[in-house]
Amino acid sequence: MTASDDKFTRQTLLDVQPLTPSLFSLRTTRDPGFRFRAGQFARLGVTKADGSTVWRAYSMVSAPHDEFLDFFSIVVPGGEFTSELSRLRVGDELLVDKQAFGFLTLDRFVDGRDLWLLATGTGVAPFVSILQDFEVWERFERIFLVYSVREARELAYRELIAGLADRDYLQEHAHKLRFIPVVTREAHPGALQGRITTLIENGELERAAGETLQPGHSRIMLCGNPQMIEDTRALLKARDMQLSLSRRPGQVAVENYW
């Protein structure tokens, strides 16, 4: 796939941090003209040895006010894009679309008291961005970040999430956040065990949160495994919670970019 130079900028890789053999974060420079809403994604391009460019969509992990761009990636065995991406080193070039995309933003909701952010794997990326933006703390009384991974070592950004309370602009609001880690394949202290859908069905997730999922005051964002999104949407629909559309505001917003 090719794209003309007027549609992307050439950015420099500033940092690469491996989390596990198959997960890593990366930071690039940011073009001064690049704008995005917390929760959106951009297409990233890597140039292969044969000169061709491969493009994939990645949510920004960084906040809209940051001077850099952070992304979170999994290495897909044999994957054309991530195999190239994982070989990049500090100082290498990465292409970034000039336009941000996606509707997993707070604009999707016109009201609501509680915000639930339900993520699996690298789907936590847009929620980390949202949590670093002041708007979410002003709008909602309670925020529940539910982050599900297979193994505890895959729980990324724990230090960043824990450190939100120390940021000057969030200190008086930090009490609103409840972080609920979920690990599916092993027991881990402080984490729930089981799939998000199972934890909703058996009530364990709501007991851990100390709050219920209700259409009147709950607003839910879903990002991650497509099967999780489909199954969770079905569970929420059974509770009269619908996808929020521009023509029909609802309680649920999703992101499907893989």
Could you read off the pLDDT of 95-106 as tens digits, one per residue?
Answer: 999 999 999 999
pLDDT of res. 1: 40
Q: How confident is the prediction for the chain on average, in pLDDT? A: 94
DSSP state of 141: S
Residue 246 scores a pLDDT above 90: no
- What is the mean predicted confidence (pLDDT) over 71-75? 94
Least confident of 32-41, 66-75, 164-173, 215-224: 164-173
Burial class (CB in 10 A: 0-12, 13-18, 19+), 201: middle
Least confident of 85-94, 123-132, 231-240: 85-94
pLDDT of res. 2: 44
Strands 142-149 and 41-47: unpaired
How far, in Å, CA of 196 to CA of 205, rounded?
Answer: 8
pLDDT of res. 257: 56
Q: State the alpha helices, DSSP H only, in 1-111.
A: 80-85
- What is the mean predicted confidence (pLDDT) over 153-173? 94
Least confident of 33-47, 67-81, 186-200: 67-81
Give the three-state DSSP class for 5. helix
What is the residue whose two structure tokens read 């539910």?
146
The torsion angles phi and psi of 152, rounded to 5 degrees, stand at -60, -30
pLDDT of res. 258: 55
- Kindly report the three-state secondary structure assignment for every residue of 225-237: CHHHHHHHHHHHH
- pLDDT band at residue 4 using 50, 70 and 90 as cut-offs: low
Residue 217 scores a pLDDT above 70: yes
Beta bridge partners of 232: none
Q: Which of 51, 69, 66, 58 is nearest to 13 (CA)?
A: 69
Cα 182-257-154 angle, rounded to 5 deg = 30
- In whole angstroms, how large is the CA radius of gyration of the chain? 18
How far, in Å, CA of 66 to CA of 45, rounded?
Answer: 21
Q: b/e for 126-153, b at 16 or more Cβ within 10 A?
A: bbbbbbbbeebbeebebbbbbbbbeebe
pLDDT of res. 179: 98
Show the domains of the chain with their CATH numbers. Answer: 5-97 (2.40.30.10), 106-255 (3.40.50.80)
- What is the mean predicted confidence (pLDDT) over 64-93? 91
Q: How many residues does the chain have?
A: 258
